[in-house]
Chains A and B, each alone.
Chain A
Amino acid sequence: MIRLEDVCRYFDVGDEVVHALDHVTVEIPDGEYVSIMGPSGSGKSTLLNILGLLDTPSSGSYSLDGVNTSTMDDAELAHVRQQKIGFVFQSFHLVPRLSALENVELPMVLAGDQPTARQERGMAALNRVGLGHRDDHRPSQLSGGERQRVAIARAIVMQPTLLLADEPTGNLDSASGKEVVKIMEDLNQQGLTLLVVTHDPAIGERARRQLKFRDGRLAEDSARVA
């Protein structure tokens, strides 16, 4: 359960204060499939960073599963990120010198898990994205779609409750894009809360609920309209 209440995020740009997020209040129940759309500069990336605990609101409160995150220190935030949130980025951000499996294991390495457990769960995650047979390939030996699937496997290896995807199909052709979206939707079917930031309406409209942002404000919420 995600609850944003009156969240603002300002940036000082020179003498000007930019309102990247302007009094945003929204609630997303567990297992929801939400797309976040809007032109660039509308605040959707800022929202994603705040939801992913990579950034903190200038004002307002953000509570995740009933816990207010604004009082957490760095180590607690990192822990929540590690355990509850998976990220998928537009440009994959795989580590080039590591194999697919090692990339997937990376969050578990940071969590301090044993190598045997890492391998077991890493392989399970790779199998879920249909890449179990590619475990020893480097990212450079994989296609774009396969890379993004490895990134999804990495995002779910810690069994998070929330998957945040930032333009996950932005660097992919439409065929592999569809494949990637399908995998994420399957995960959503199994109970994972899915948030996709996109400006591709074809992708955005697949979500059960659509949030549209303009100038840092939540301009349209399909749930509220309905």
Chain B
Amino acid sequence: MRFLDCNRMAGASLWRYPGRTFMMLLATAIGVAAVLVLTSLGEAARRYVSAEFQSLGTHLVIVVPGRSETSGANPAMMVAETPRDLTLDDARAIQRSPSVQRLAPVVVGAASVQRGGLEREISILGTTAEFRPIRQWKMALGEFLPNVGMDRAAPVCVLGYTIREELFGTDPPLGQWVRVGDRRCRVSGVLAEQGTSIMIDVDEVVMIPVVDAQALFDSPGLFRIVIQATSREAMPLAQRDAKRIIRERHYGEEDVTVITQDSVLATFDKIFGNLTRALAGIASVSLVVAGVLIMNVMLVAVSQRTAEVGLLKALGATRRQIIALFLTEALFLAALGGVVGLGVGYGAVAGMRAFYDTLDFVPPVWAAAGALVVAIACGAFFGILPARRAADLDPIQALTGR
């Protein structure tokens, strides 16, 4: 029998029983659509968390004084004894690396901040103008620290959102003097509300130029150096450069830890990727259920079509041809159901996106392809039994029945 004729006959059989065919299509379509919808949920969660992490800034590489054997952020790193300080000279040296787009040294300490009769002990962050674009902070009022070299002092400060409320209430803060520790500075700007990120409540911080902070705390050591690499691909390069430069400057001692935003992001990516795969697995169960349904419906169909099978045998059809015909029917059903399911699934996901636009619902391509493949495989697998049953039918009764 020619391949085309086999397909035509199988298609005609499906067409002849529209109700039955529709039910089987529906089962497969629902299975495939379920895979798409569930995996798009997992994928949306992954993208959401990724985006949150990206909002810390992009392509960040962070140099922390002290050697840590573990990778990633941990509290011990922040209190580690360091044999040699990380200095502004170190920062300047690293800045010359071609893979560095922006760099900001950071000094952290606590000091009393005073305005009029109000005084508070507050976290002080000494840094440079570059820090704002790196962290992608927005200003509520005025300007961030002046864009002068990192070793230039300036009597200015930038207030966190909450601090401004506490010190100024409803008074306009710009250009006003406040006292930070033993020095006076003018308020040049106020940050927009940022919330907590990387363990620091940014709204409760006062920022001053890094050299002023060093003088204030009387220490040349930096808390860390935050680097923005030129691209994602440049991040490992920036990491390597930072380590090399520090080693050269610190007499062969690599006494810093360099962590990348990527390594943290990769961990989350892995967690949510696994979650999505687990959801795909759960949804695939519905495909198997659809396969079982196809099998049962076809088993019933086979016994109703005894006369047809008998006729084909009498006309010279081999066992193999009968099996091929019924298997082709099952494959048609599964493939068609799969394609319909893809349509329904993508439609449902688009609906979810329209309804709830915070999350970016997109079914991963591998899930769509996988669902289709599993659907067709189920069709083939569960089509075998009915096809064999048909081939084994005893046609005599049906043909001679009178």
Task: Give the B-binding residues of A (Cβ under 8 A).
Answer: 45, 48-49, 52, 54-55, 74-75, 78-79, 81-83, 87, 89-91, 93, 95, 97, 106-107, 109-112, 114, 154, 158, 166-167, 170
Contact = CB atoms under 8 A, between A and B. Distances in A.
25 contacts: A45-B400, A54-B396, A55-B396, A74-B319, A75-B318, A78-B318, A78-B321, A81-B313, A81-B315, A87-B314, A87-B399, A91-B401, A93-B311, A106-B315, A109-B1, A109-B5, A110-B315, A110-B316, A110-B317, A112-B1, A154-B315, A166-B399, A166-B400, A167-B402, A170-B402
Contacts of A170: 402
B395 A54 contact: yes
A127 B396 CA distance: 30
Contact of B313 (A54, A89, A91): A54
B10 to A, nearest CB: 12
Given A81-B314, A82-B315, A97-B16, A75 B396 contact: no
Interface residues of B, number: 26
Given A93-B311, A97-B12, 6 more contacts: A75-B320, A79-B316, A79-B318, A93-B399, A111-B1, A112-B5
A81 B319 contact: no
Interface in B83-119: none
Interface in B315-345: 315-321
Interface string B372-402: 0000000000000000000000011001111
B321 to A, nearest CB: 6
Given A97-B16, A110-B321, A78 B395 contact: no
Contacts of B2: 109, 112, 114
A144 B23 CA distance: 36
Contacts of B402: 90-91, 167, 170
A154 B314 CA distance: 11
Contacts of B320: 75
Contacts of A52: 314
B318 A49 contact: no
Nearest to A94: B311
A78 B400 contact: no
A166 B311 CA distance: 13
